[in-house]
């Protein structure tokens, strides 16, 4: 017993429970930040992986719009909301599809499925400008095609029920809507940065597997909060696809909100994660 007690004392002295916190916890053996992606990488245009990633973004956004707008149509056409999935069901459709699609496409394109996410990643230098522009174009095209297929299936219902388009709901101002889009997108993009943080992936092998779950859950919660305000955009491609296929004046009146709001929210999330959470600019000076 005496020998064991001595071992315990030695271990307690050798391995103190007090551990350095924050940036003080980083050592030379700690994770090193990968170099920032170049703004221009012409060689990408000759790579099949580049085009494959764009196709994956197109298909994912197509499926996203198809399933979610069909869900919105189903709730809208029901006279008794209790007989349908309701707002909670719409939120689950958006969050669940993001969860599934991010899981399916993360290994190919990163699973953005949203120009705001792509914009945030560009600001954080996680991808090149060429790839970011290509992703946004493919996301918008996918969204237009997804909404178009829904309209093709039920043209009369689509037009009668506003086509799932985003607009400022009655009783709310444009400022309310813009604020809701900024904060909602901040929540989403901040979650994306945290769930896909390469440093966490390096240390915790389970993080890459679980990444789609918090992202989808963030989309679900934001929809619960902001459907009554704007119908929830937080995704310019989703808003553009629905508005373009629906093509009524009131769908375009406040459309700028669903681009400006998400882009501001994404930019704030990128700055917050890079400077406050990761303190990357300060590490570079060390």
Residues 42-79 have pLDDT tens digits of 788 889 999 999 999 999 999 999 999 999 998 887 76
Strand segments (E) across 123-182: none
Transcribe 78-136 into DSSP letters.
-SSGGGS-HHHHHHHHHHHHHHHHHHHHTTTT----SHHHHHHHHHTTSS-HHHHHHHH
Task: Tell if the pTM clears 0.75, that is, is over it.
Answer: yes
Task: Please compute Rg for the chain using Cα positions.
Answer: 22
- Token readout for 152 is 């093709």
Burial class (CB in 10 A: 0-12, 13-18, 19+), 43: exposed
Does a structural domain hold residue 161? yes
- State which H helix or E strand residue 215 sits in: helix 212-230
- Token readout for 93 is 């459709």
Does a structural domain hold residue 33? no
Q: What is the pLDDT of residue 201?
A: 60
Does a structural domain hold residue 23? no
Task: Answer yes or no: are the C-beta atoms of 105 and 57 closer than 8 Å.
Answer: yes
Instruction: Please tell me the least confidently modeled range out of 81-90, 223-232, 265-274.
Output: 81-90
Kindly compute the dihedral angle of the four CA atoms of residues 266, 196, 55, 69, in this order, to the nearest 10 degrees: -60
Q: Please state whether 279 falls in left (phi above 0), alpha (psi between -120 and 50) or beta.
A: left
Does a structural domain hold residue 28? no
| Structural domain count of the chain | 1
User: What band does 26 get if pLDDT is binned at 50, 70 and 90?
Assistant: very low
User: What band does 16 get if pLDDT is binned at 50, 70 and 90?
Assistant: very low
Task: Answer yes or no: are the C-beta atoms of 131 and 41 closer than 8 Å.
Answer: yes
Give the whole-number percent of the chain exceeding pLDDT 70. Answer: 80
Q: What is the pLDDT of residue 184?
A: 98
- Asked if the model's pLDDT at residue 9 lies above 70, the reply is no
Does a structural domain hold residue 32? no
Does a structural domain hold residue 9? no
Does a structural domain hold residue 127? yes
Q: What is the pLDDT of residue 208?
A: 58
Range among 13-27, 29-43, 61-75 rated most confident: 61-75
- Which of 181, 190, 186, 182 has its CA nearest to residue 232? 181
Q: What is the pLDDT of residue 277?
A: 81
Does a structural domain hold residue 16? no
User: What band does 229 get if pLDDT is binned at 50, 70 and 90?
Assistant: very high
Query: What CATH number has the domain bearing residue 261?
Result: 1.20.1080.10
For residue 209, the enclosing domain spans 43-283
């Amino acid at each position: 017993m005496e020998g064991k007690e001595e071992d315990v004392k030695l271990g307690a002295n050798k391995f103190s429970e007090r551990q350095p916190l924050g940036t003080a916890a980083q050592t030379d053996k700690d994770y090193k930040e990968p170099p920032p992606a170049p703004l221009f990488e012409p060689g990408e245009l000759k790579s099949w992986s580049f085009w494959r990633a764009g196709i994956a973004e197109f298909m994912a956004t197509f499926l996203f719009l198809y399933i979610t707008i069909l869900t919105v149509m189903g709730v809208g056409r029901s006279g008794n909301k209790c007989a349908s999935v309701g707002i909670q069901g719409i939120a689950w459709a958006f969050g669940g599809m993001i969860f599934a699609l991010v899981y399916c496409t993360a290994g190919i394109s990163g699973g953005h499925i949203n120009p705001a996410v792509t914009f945030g990643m560009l600001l954080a230098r996680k991808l090149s400008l060429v790839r970011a522009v290509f992703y946004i174009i493919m996301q918008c095209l996918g969204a237009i095609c997804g909404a178009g297929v829904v309209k093709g299936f039920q043209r009369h219902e689509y037009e009668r029920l506003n086509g799932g388009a985003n607009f400022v709901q009655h009783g709310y101002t444009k400022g309310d809507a813009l604020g809701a889009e900024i904060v909602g997108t901040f929540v989403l993009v901040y979650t994306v940065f945290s769930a896909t943080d390469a440093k966490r992936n390096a240390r915790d092998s389970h993080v890459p597997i679980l990444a789609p779950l918090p992202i989808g859950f963030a989309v679900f919660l934001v929809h619960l909060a902001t459907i009554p305000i704007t119908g929830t955009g937080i995704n310019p491609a989703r808003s553009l696809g629905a508005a373009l296929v629906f093509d009524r004046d009131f769908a375009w009146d406040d459309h700028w909100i669903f681009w400006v709001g998400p882009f501001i929210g994404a930019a704030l999330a990128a700055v917050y994660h890079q400077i406050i959470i990761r303190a990357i600019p300060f590490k570079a000076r060390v």
